[in-house]
């Protein structure tokens, strides 16, 4: 347990080298007389030394060469989806209009259009619901971007 | 991984060109920041495949939202929020159990010790990495920024858009959590003795 209130702020700054020489000397003086801070400082310093021995492995050059191309492809694909979606929406509107004009006859086309429209609406609702869920979990939604 | 500094930012005219739709500018931005983005995502997600996929998706999302970016401001803090949200969402969809891969970390080279210790050193890296993924993502995030990316408090404050005082207290609680997680691992006791 950390008992001394000074450790939370100053202990971290001390370990991370974020203190001026004056501040360091002052905190060291405090530690000399504060067993709690001494104990915590020792424990956190060891933790930091341990964590500091670990590094992330840098992926290969080939990985990075593929990286940008892959981002580019994803952008391209997204554009393609948007275009297709816009086209599909227009076809759906057109087909529905045709459908209402000949609604007295149930034909193969009627069924196909209705199935397509139902699937499309379901997909849209599902996507919107996912977006709303993501937005709710956005910790920065109240922050100006 | 190289220490990435938020200070070495992308020139304003490149950013402005990107907002205007320039694809070469977008390429420049991605290439200048992809290592940092990948490292951030890796810190959240724990394995290379997810880190690559989610960081790339974040670039796509940033590109789609570029009109909302103010080219007078630095790119990375703005992008970081998109990336962070994507990572947190990915974690959530994985039901909060990140698939942690141990081959994405290693121990920093220590010329002072011979090859006979190399196995044991890999174990230390794995141990710390495992403990990191036992703590909350928000705690892990700040430890990764400070310890792995070696950012200063000022740089962390800028990246996360929080005051430096908050960086300090978040670090304190995060390290406390990490210490708790490490102490919970049986291998930690042997390590405690040899750590200077
Ligand atoms: Zn004290």
Lowest model confidence (mean pLDDT) among A56-60, A105-109, A118-122, B58-62 = A105-109
Pick the CATH number of B12-93 from 1.10.3720.10, 1.10.1740.10, 3.40.50.300, 3.30.70.20: 1.10.1740.10
**Segment of A88-92, B40-44, B180-184 carrying the highest mean pLDDT:** B40-44
For an interface test with B, which of A2, A44, A50 has the most B Cβ atoms less than 10 Å from its Cβ? A50
> Is residue A18 helix, strand or coil?
coil
* Mean pLDDT over each residue of chain B, to the nearest integer: 86
Distance, in Å, from the CA atom of B65 to the CA atom of A138, rounded to the nearest integer, reads 16
| Cβ–Cβ contact B33 with A under 8 A | no
Domain residue ranges of chain B, discontinuous segments joined by +: 12-93, 114-191
Distance, in Å, from the CA atom of A53 to the CA atom of B182, rounded to the nearest integer, reads 15
Q: For residue A9, how far is its CA from the centre of ligand 1 (angstroms)?
A: 11
Instruction: Please name every residue paired with A54 in a beta bridge, in sequence order, or none if there are none.
Output: B107
The one-character DSSP state at B3 is -
Q: Looking at the domain assignment, is residue A104 inside a domain?
A: yes
- The distance of B52 to chain A (nearest Cα, Å) reads 8
Closest residue to A68, CB basis, from B30, B85, B146: B30
- Spatial CA neighbour of A13 closest among B18, B1, B165, B44: B165
Q: Which domain holds residue A16?
A: 5-53
Please indicate, yes or no, whether residues A94 and A128 belong to a single structural domain of this protein.
Answer: yes
Buried b (16+ CB within 10 A) or exposed e, B173-195: ebbbbbbebbeeeeebeebeeee
What ipTM did this prediction achieve? 0.80
Which chain B residues are within 8 Å of A58, Cβ to Cβ? Answer: 1-2, 35
Q: Looking at the domain assignment, is residue A71 inside a domain?
A: no
Q: Looking at the domain assignment, is residue A43 inside a domain?
A: yes
- Banded model confidence at residue A108, pLDDT cuts 50, 70, 90: confident
State how many domains chain A has.
2
- Banded model confidence at residue B191, pLDDT cuts 50, 70, 90: low
The one-character DSSP state at B9 is P
Assigned architecture for domain B114-191: Orthogonal Bundle (1.10)
Q: Looking at the domain assignment, is residue A69 inside a domain?
A: no
Please indicate, yes or no, whether residues A41 and A84 belong to a single structural domain of this protein.
Answer: no
pLDDT exceeds 50 at position A144:
no
Q: What is the pTM of this model?
A: 0.80
Structure tokens given for B125: 């890296």
Helices (H), B94-163: 118-132, 137-143, 153-160
Q: Looking at the domain assignment, is residue A59 inside a domain?
A: no
List the beta strands (DSSP E) in chain B: 105-107
Q: Looking at the domain assignment, is residue A31 inside a domain?
A: yes
Distance, in Å, from the CA atom of B36 to the CA atom of B43, rounded to the nearest integer, reads 11
Q: Looking at the domain assignment, is residue A65 inside a domain?
A: no
């Amino acid at each position: 347990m950390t008992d001394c209130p000074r450790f939370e702020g100053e202990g971290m700054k001390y370990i991370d080298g974020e203190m001026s020489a004056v501040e360091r000397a002052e905190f060291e003086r405090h530690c000399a007389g504060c067993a709690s801070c001494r104990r915590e400082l020792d424990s956190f310093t060891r933790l930091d030394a341990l964590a500091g021995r670990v590094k992330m492995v840098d992926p290969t050059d080939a990985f990075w060469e593929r990286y940008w191309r892959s981002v580019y492809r994803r952008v391209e694909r997204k554009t393609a989806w948007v275009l297709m979606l816009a086209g599909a929406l227009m076809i759906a509107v057109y087909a529905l209009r045709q459908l209402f004009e000949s609604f007295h006859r149930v034909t193969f086309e009627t069924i196909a259009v209705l199935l397509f429209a139902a699937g499309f609406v379901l997909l849209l609702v599902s996507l919107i619901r996912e977006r709303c869920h993501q937005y709710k979990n956005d910790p920065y939604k109240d922050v100006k971007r | 991984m190289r220490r990435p500094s938020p200070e070495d930012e992308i020139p304003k005219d490149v950013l402005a060109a990107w907002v205007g739709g320039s694809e070469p500018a977008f390429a420049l931005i991605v290439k200048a920041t992809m290592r940092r983005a990948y490292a951030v995502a890796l810190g959240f997600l724990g394995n290379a495949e997810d880190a690559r996929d989610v960081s790339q998706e974040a670039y796509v999302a940033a590109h789609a939202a570029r009109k909302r970016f103010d080219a007078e401001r630095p790119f990375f803090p703005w992008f970081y929020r998109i990336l962070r949200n994507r990572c947190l969402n990915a974690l959530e969809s994985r039901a909060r159990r990140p698939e942690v891969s141990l081959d994405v970390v290693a121990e920093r080279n220590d010329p002072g010790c011979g090859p006979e210790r190399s196995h044991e050193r890999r174990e230390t890296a794995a141990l710390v990495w495992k403990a990191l993924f036992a703590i909350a993502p928000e705690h892990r995030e700040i430890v990764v920024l400070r310890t792995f990316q070696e950012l200063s408090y000022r740089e962390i404050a800028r990246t996360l858009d929080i005051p430096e005082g908050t960086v300090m207290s978040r670090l304190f609680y995060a390290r406390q959590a990490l210490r708790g997680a490490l102490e919970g691992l049986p291998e930690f006791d042997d390590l405690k003795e040899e750590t200077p």
